[in-house]
Each structure stands twice: as structure tokens, then as C-alpha cells.
Amino acid sequence: NIEVVDRIGSGDAYISGALYGLLAHDFDCQKALEYGNATSSVKNTIPGDLPSCGLEEIDRIIKNHKNTGVQLEMDR
């Protein structure tokens, strides 16, 4: 769970993460989803439309949430 600060740019962040996941991991669709989700999550915690975090933080988020299971419905 994250505290959403600003949603502006989260879709763009998702696409950038997904594209990175595809290109950096030999077009692995699972990696695309993981990087897209992690990048978008980080963006939602940063005010404004320019996320600023490093690849290390994204990799850490993915590693720490590897076995959290499938969530079929968003908690709101």
C-alpha cells in the first residue's frame, strides 16, 4: 500500500517502466508488468509530473513484492 500524493504522470511512468522491463529483459512480459507497476507506484508518491528515483529503488520494490500474490481488485 502506498499513500498517493499525485497521480499526474503515473501512466507515463507505467509505460516507461514496462518498456524498460521489455527491453532490458529480452521481452519478458512478466518483467514488463513488474517494472511498470513499480515505476508507477513510485511516481504516485512524488508531487509533480517528474518522478525522480533510481533503478536501484525500482529493483528493490520489485524484489520486496515478488511473492505478494495476485490482487484481483483494487482496495480503495
Predicted pLDDT of residue 8: 85
Domain boundary assignment for the chain: 10-64
pLDDT (tens, 9 = 90+) of the chain, 76 residues, equals: 678 888 888 899 999 999 999 999 999 999 999 999 999 999 988 888 776 788 999 999 999 887 666 555 544 4
Question: Which residues, 6 or more positions from 74, have their beta carbon under 8 angstroms from its beta carbon?
Answer: none
